[in-house]
Amino acid sequence: MLTVQPAPAPATAPAKPAANASAKERRAFGKALRAEVPLGSHADFQRPAAARDPLALLVEQGASRVPELLPIRYGRMVETPFTYFRGSARVMAADLTASPRSGLAVQMCGDAHLSNFGLSGSPERRLIFDVNDFDETLPGPFEYDVKRLVASLVVAGRANGFSGKKRRAIAVAAGARYRAEMAAYAAARDIDVWYSHVDSDELLQQLSARLDAARRKRLVEAFARARSRDSVQAFGKLTEMVDGHAQLRSQPPLIVPLRELISDSEGYVEKALREVLRQYRSSMQADHRLLLERYRYVDMARKVVGVGSVGTRCWVVLLTGRDDDDPLILQLKEATPSVHAEFVGRSKYSNQGQRVVAGQRLMQQASDIFLGWHRTAGVDGVTRDFYVRQLKDWKGSFVIEELRSEGLRMYGEVCAWSLARAHARSGDRIAIAGYLGSSSTFEEALAEFGETYADVTEGDLRQLSDAITAGQLPAVLGT
C-alpha cells in the first residue's frame, strides 16, 4: 500500500495492519482510526496565524515560470472565486497541513476540483468519464482530494448564486457518493476494482433519469461533441496553409509558434526537438512507440493552457502521418514538483514528468496511448521535465458556471464516484471504507469545511485583486 509522510500520531494510534492482513483486520483498523481522527473533525479549518501569506505562495510559484505569461495567469485567477480556486492549488496544499489527517494514503490527484474531471476517449474508443489532470499527483491522504472537490463545489455554488441550503445539499451529496462508492469497492474483488470504469452509456443512463427531456437532449449533444474533439478538429482550429504546407497559426500571446520565439536559420533547434521526440518515445509502450514512429515532425508552438498552469512551459507539436490529412497534435507540458511535495513528502520519481505519467496511469481507468515523459535542457540552459499526451482525444467538459443547482449536484456526485474509483485502485479501500463507516458524519463535516474554505478563498481573492489594483502584480484580463 502507499505510504506518506505521517502526521504526528498519538501513542494510542492503532497499529497498521500487516501487508497480508485480512479484510476484517483492515476494516477494523480503519474503524479504529476514528478514535484518533474523528470523522467530524474534518469540518475543522482555521488558517494558522503563522501560515505563509497566500499571495507570497503564488508569487514564489511563479518564479520559475515564463515571466511574460504571469500577467495572464493572474488575470485569469482574479476573474471569479472559482477561477481563483482553480489557480491556487499550492495555497490549499499548504492550508491542508493544518487540518486533520487520517493517515490513509492513496495516489492523490492533488488538484481534484470540478474542472479537472471530464470526458475522454479510451484506446478502445469508449467515451469515459474520469479525473483528467495529474500535474499535482502524489501519494497522500485520501481526504485531501475529497476536501478539494467539495470545496470547489461550494465555491462554484456561491459563484452561481445558490442558497446556503442548496450548497450544503450539493456538498453532502458528493461526500455521500464518495463514501458509498468506496464501500462498494471495499466489497469488490481486487481485479474487479481494477477493471471498474465510468463510461458514457452508464453515466447517461444515471443522469437521464434525473433530467427532463430538454436537458437530456443537451447532455446527449455534449457527449456527441466530445467524440468530435480530436487531432483532426484541433488541426482545423490551430493550423493554416502557407505555400501549400500546414503550419501552426500564430495567435499571440496564447499560441506563439517556435519560429517567432527563436531564430533557427541553421536548424539546430529543430534537430534538438527531434531528439526530444526520440527520448520521449523511449518512455512509451513498444506498440505505441511503433505507431508514433510513423509520424513526422512539422511544427511546434508555445501554448497557454488552463488557469493554474499558466506560465509553465507548454508546447503543441504538429505531426503528420500518411499525408497532410493525417495529423497528430501532441502537447508537451512542463512538469514541476507537486504542490504537495513539501508537505506530504517528495515523489519517488526524480523525473517529474514520470511522476505525472505514473500517477495518471495508476488513477485513470484508461490513459492516452501517447502518454510519456522526457527531460531536456532549454535554450536558456535550464534542464526541465515534461510529460506528453495528445492535445485532443475526445475531450469533453462541462461549463461549471452554466450549471443549475441540480446539475451541479449531479456533476459533483459523478466526480466523487470517479474519485472513489481512482482512490480504490491505489489505496487500502477496505480501511478507508471502515474509517468512513455508514453514517453521514463524514459528508456533513465536508460540507462545513467547504463553506469555511470558500470564505478563505474569497478573502484570498480580494487580496490578489487588491495587489493587482495597487500595481503590485501585473494582470492581463480577458485572455
Given a cut of 70, whether residue 299 has pLDDT beyond it is: yes
Q: What is the pLDDT of residue 267?
A: 67
Beta-strand (E) ranges in 277-410?
Answer: 296-303, 314-320, 327-335, 372-377, 383-390
Q: Can you give the residue ranges of every domain in the chain? A: 36-226+396-469, 228-390
Q: What pLDDT, in 10s, does the model give residues 244-287? A: 889 999 999 999 998 898 876 666 667 777 778 888 999 998 99
Instruction: Compute CA distances 224 → 120, 195, 262, whole Å.
Output: 12, 25, 40
Instruction: Compute CA distances 468 → 1, 66, 99, 460, 461, whole Å.
Output: 45, 19, 30, 13, 11
Which residues sit opposite 386 in a β-bridge? Answer: 334, 374
Higher local confidence (pLDDT), 296 or 234: 296
Grid coordinates belonging to 285: 509502450
- Contact between 457 and 82 under an 8 Å Cβ cutoff? The reply is no
Given a cut of 50, whether residue 159 has pLDDT beyond it is: yes
Given a cut of 70, whether residue 438 has pLDDT beyond it is: yes
Phi and psi at residue 133, in whole multiples of 5°? -135, 130
Q: What pLDDT, in 10s, does the model give residues 387-437? A: 999 988 777 777 888 888 988 999 999 999 999 999 999 999 999 999 999
Which residues sit opposite 374 in a β-bridge? Answer: 386
Model confidence band, residue 208 (pLDDT cutoffs 50, 70, 90): confident
Given a cut of 60, whether residue 345 has pLDDT beyond it is: yes
Dihedral sign for Cα atoms in the order 145, 151, 153, 156: negative
Given a cut of 50, whether residue 6 has pLDDT beyond it is: no
What is the value of pTM for the model shown?
A: 0.93
**Residue 349: which region, alpha, beta or left (left: phi > 0; alpha: psi -120 to 50)?**
beta
Phi and psi at residue 436, in whole multiples of 5°? -75, -30
Given a cut of 50, whether residue 370 has pLDDT beyond it is: yes
Q: What pLDDT, in 10s, does the model give residues 10-53? A: 446 688 888 889 999 999 999 999 999 999 999 999 998 888 89
CA trace torsion 391, 314, 316, 197 (10° rounding): -10
DSSP 188: S
Which residues sit opposite 107 in a β-bridge? Answer: 139
